[in-house]
């Protein structure tokens, strides 16, 4: 039977862009691929202390040039996945794939362009809080696993504009991403989530989605905003 290998992504009829829509009452929030025009929205969010103090990855201060190079790479990653799905057989089974082509949260507006809100993405775990040798061994072993291997350990990165914190958006976005794409289309079965110690909101987002706190490790970190965070919460999720 003919089907779209993009299932269950929807397609915007005007732009052709694939997207996932959050369920009601958050149906005005969609998850799409990155757009090269997102830079002007990303820069203020990633310089906002309420966001960047909890993120290890992005540089601080976050400059337009950082956004430009990040967007080029992230959009290319998404395009590679979309092209792979485009080439896959339309009458074979839905292809299991190693990533999600949509990741950017946007608020749709009836009378104008949508608003960039944040990012949520899955990647193979790199064990940042293990001792260097263990970290290297575990990461390499995890990276070697075949696409769809149920023993792959995944990790999640996310952030949301502070103007929209506390409305249930990230909890629902995580649930949507897991049930619509990560579980059925990537074969995700195990996730290890890591958040800096004291990031109560992030821990709650994970707990509300069935993650269980395993431990809190002591580990001095200098975050992107130059603050030292002494430790991280490690949570696990297993597919049931
Ligand atoms: C963490 C973050 C993604 C949460 O997104 P969000 O959409 O605001 O979260 P939700 O509204 O879905 O809230 C989930 C739960 O956390 C609670 N919560 C959210 N922010 C909180 C905060 N700062 N302090 C305490 N609780 C908080 C909510 O009350 C809710 O719990 P409840 O349903 O039991 O009341 C967002 O705050 C953020 O972007 N923070 C900065 C970046 C970051 O920390 N990223 C994660 C890195 S691991």
Dihedral over Cα of 189, 187, 23, 155: its sign: positive
> Mind listing the pLDDT tens digit for each residue in 167-177?
999 999 999 99
| Ligand 1 pocket check for 159: Cβ under 6 Å | yes
Going by C-alpha positions, the residue among 45, 209, 43 that lies closest to residue 122 is 209
Residue 54 burial class via C-beta count within 10 angstroms: exposed 0-12, middle 13-18, buried 19 and up = buried
Question: In this predicted model, what pLDDT tens digit does every residue of 49-86 receive, in sequence order?
Answer: 999 999 988 999 999 999 999 999 999 999 999 999 99
pLDDT at 3 (0 to 100): 65
Which domains are present in the chain?
10-238 (3.40.630.30)
Instruction: Specify the residue with its C-alpha closest to ligand 1, atom 14.
Output: 205
Q: Report pLDDT for 30.
A: 98
Q: Is the CB–ligand 1 distance for residue 169 below 6 Å? A: yes
Ligand 1 atom closest to Cα of 55?
47
Q: Ligand 1: does its nearest atom lie under 6 Å from the Cβ of 176?
A: no
pLDDT at 223: 73
With a pLDDT cut of 90, the percent of the chain lying above it is 86
Atom 24 in ligand 1: which residue has the minimum CA distance?
201
The DSSP bridge pattern shows strands 104-109 and 112-124 to be antiparallel
CB 201 less than 6 A from any atom of ligand 1? yes
Give percent above pLDDT 70 in the chain.
98
């Amino acid at each position: 039977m003919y089907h779209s290998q993009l299932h269950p992504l929807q397609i915007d009829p005007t732009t052709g862009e694939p997207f996932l829509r959050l369920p009601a009452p958050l149906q005005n929030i969609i998850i799409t691929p990155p757009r090269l025009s997102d830079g002007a929205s990303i820069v203020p969010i990633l310089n906002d202390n309420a966001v960047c103090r909890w993120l290890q990855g992005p540089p601080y201060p976050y400059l337009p040039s950082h956004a430009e190079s990040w967007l080029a790479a992230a959009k290319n990653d998404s395009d590679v996945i979309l092209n792979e799905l485009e080439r896959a057989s339309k009458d074979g089974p839905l292809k299991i794939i190693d990533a999600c082509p949509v990741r950017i949260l946007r608020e749709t507006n009836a009378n104008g362009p949508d608003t960039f809100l944040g990012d949520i993405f899955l990647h193979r775990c790199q064990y940042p809080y293990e001792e260097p040798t263990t970290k290297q061994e575990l990461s390499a072993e995890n990276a070697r696993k075949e696409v769809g291997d149920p023993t792959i350990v995944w990790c999640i990165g996310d952030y949301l504009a502070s103007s929209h914190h506390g409305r249930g958006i990230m909890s629902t976005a995580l649930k949507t991403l897991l049930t619509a794409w990560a579980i059925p289309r990537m074969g995700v079965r195990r996730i290890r989530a890591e958040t800096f110690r004291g990031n109560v909101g992030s821990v709650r987002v994970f707990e509300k989605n069935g993650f269980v706190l395993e431990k809190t490790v002591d580990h001095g970190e200098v975050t992107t905003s130059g603050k030292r965070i002494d430790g991280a919460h490690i949570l696990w999720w297993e597919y049931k």
